[in-house]
């Protein structure tokens, strides 16, 4: 029954994402903004359950202001919004009746993870409004595909031949063999993106770059997954949310994609072309 729930939920999520992409840049941008807000919602709730007491109101307002910050300030908004949010958080903490440094520390953490990657997502999605090639959503899709294939290969290869544990103190089921499978899956994802780019006549990124990106995503997807698992373990929660049947919350689906996306943006910006 749980497997059926996961499959149905995954099919619905894929349908929503593909529909948004094919309908146009505006719907894609709206979807990305909703995902970013839900990621922040999941993280602050998990930290709250763990007793870290993040400032929910300020952080959720900041998540709501991601698009206005990007629309009016461009890439400068990536710095300005987190900086102003930290300023407000500091004021609220200092003048609180019950001063608790854990509130400021945990709240500040969410400005880096997941707010910063979320703002990068919105910047690329917003750039698509004036880019006929839709390079931004193409990269977002590439990160998601590489991360998904990395997770898939890691899971099945780990089940098939995995024996030696990778990080038993964080995730007891992950194995070294599964980790190797993750690198293979990510690299295959990179190659697949190159094939897709040929079909779409979007060849601004060469095959060698896609293979390097895919291989790197094999590493970052696993680090992202383990990092998210570590946070859940410290917060004593099984999932970040419960509104996606069989999956949990958005952060449970985005944990491996977030770091893959950051790595992809950094690599493309430095070695291939300007995208920000």
The whole-model pTM stands at 0.92
What is residue 3's predicted lDDT score, i.e. its pLDDT?
Answer: 64
- Return the ∠ at Cα 42 (arms to 41 and 48), rounded to 5°: 90
Percent of the chain clearing pLDDT 70 (strictly above): 99
Give pLDDT tens digits for 205-224.
999 999 999 999 999 999 99
What is residue 6's predicted lDDT score, i.e. its pLDDT?
Answer: 76
Task: Give the residue from 125, 135, 118 showing the smallest Cα distance to 257.
Answer: 118
Across the chain, what does the average pLDDT equal? 92
What tokens were used for 259? 């770091």
Neighbours of 137 (CB within 10 A): 23
If pLDDT is split at 50, 70 and 90, which confidence band does 246 have? Answer: confident
Q: Is the confidence at residue 39, as pLDDT, over 90?
A: yes
Contact 119, 63 (CB under 8 A): no
Sequence-distant (6+) residues with CB within 8 A of 221 are: 146, 147, 150, 151, 182, 186, 256, 257, 259, 260
Domain boundaries, the chain: 2-272
Q: Is the confidence at residue 1, as pLDDT, over 60?
A: no
What is residue 12's predicted lDDT score, i.e. its pLDDT?
Answer: 87
If pLDDT is split at 50, 70 and 90, which confidence band does 2 have? Answer: low
Q: Is the confidence at residue 41, as pLDDT, over 90?
A: yes
What tokens were used for 184? 């293979």
What tokens were used for 115? 């707010």
Q: Is the confidence at residue 132, as pLDDT, over 70?
A: yes
Give the C-alpha distances (Å, rounded to integers) separating 136 from 100, 132, 164, 209.
40, 10, 39, 16
Give the C-alpha distances (Å, rounded to integers) separating 17 from 10, 25, 27, 46.
11, 12, 10, 25
Percent of the chain clearing pLDDT 90 (strictly above): 72
The whole-angstrom separation of Cα 159 and Cα 24 is 39
What is residue 173's predicted lDDT score, i.e. its pLDDT?
Answer: 87
Mean local confidence (pLDDT), 133-154: 91
Contact 70, 140 (CB under 8 A): no
More confident residue, 86 or 169: 86
Mean local confidence (pLDDT), 119-147: 90
If pLDDT is split at 50, 70 and 90, which confidence band does 14 have? Answer: confident
Mean local confidence (pLDDT), 82-94: 96
DSSP string, 143-191: HHHHHHHHHHHHHHHHHHH--SEEETTTEEEEEHHHHHHHHHHHHHHHH
More confident residue, 69 or 20: 69
Task: Give the residue from 105, 96, 123 showing the smallest Cα distance to 53.
Answer: 105
Sequence-distant (6+) residues with CB within 8 A of 8 are: 245, 246
What tokens were used for 133? 């090639």
What is residue 210's predicted lDDT score, i.e. its pLDDT?
Answer: 96
Contact 216, 240 (CB under 8 A): no
Give pLDDT tens digits for 91-130.
999 998 887 889 999 999 999 999 999 999 999 999 888 8
Mean local confidence (pLDDT), 53-60: 96
């Amino acid at each position: 029954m749980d497997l059926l729930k996961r499959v149905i939920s995954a099919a619905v999520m894929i349908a929503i994402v593909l529909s948004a992409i094919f309908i146009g840049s505006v719907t894609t941008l709206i979807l990305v903004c909703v995902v970013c807000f839900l990621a922040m919602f999941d993280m602050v709730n998990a930290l709250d359950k763990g007793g870290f007491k993040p400032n929910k109101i300020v952080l959720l307002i900041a998540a709501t202001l991601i698009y206005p910050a990007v629309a009016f300030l461009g890439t400068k908004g990536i710095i300005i919004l987190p900086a102003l949010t930290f300023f407000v958080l500091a004021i609220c903490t200092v003048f609180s009746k019950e001063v608790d440094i854990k509130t400021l520390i945990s709240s500040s953490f969410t400005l880096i993870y997941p707010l910063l990657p979320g703002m990068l997502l919105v910047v690329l999605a917003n750039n698509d409004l004036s880019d006929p090639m839709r390079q931004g959503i193409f990269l977002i899709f590439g990160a998601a595909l590489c991360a998904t294939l990395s997770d898939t290969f890691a899971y099945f290869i780990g089940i098939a031949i995995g024996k030696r544990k990778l990080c038993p103190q964080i995730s007891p089921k992950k194995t070294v063999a599964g980790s190797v499978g993750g690198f293979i899956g990510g690299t295959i994802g990179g190659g697949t993106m190159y094939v897709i780019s040929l079909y779409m006549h979007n060849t601004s990124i060469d095959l060698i770059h896609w293979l390097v990106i895919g291989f790197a995503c094999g590493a970052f997807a696993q680090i992202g997954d383990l990092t998210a698992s570590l946070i859940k373990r410290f917060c004593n929660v099984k999932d970040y949310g419960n509104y996606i049947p069989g999956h949990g919350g958005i952060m449970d689906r985005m944990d491996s994609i977030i770091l893959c996306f950051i790595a992809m943006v950094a690599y493309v910006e430095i070695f291939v072309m300007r995208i920000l």
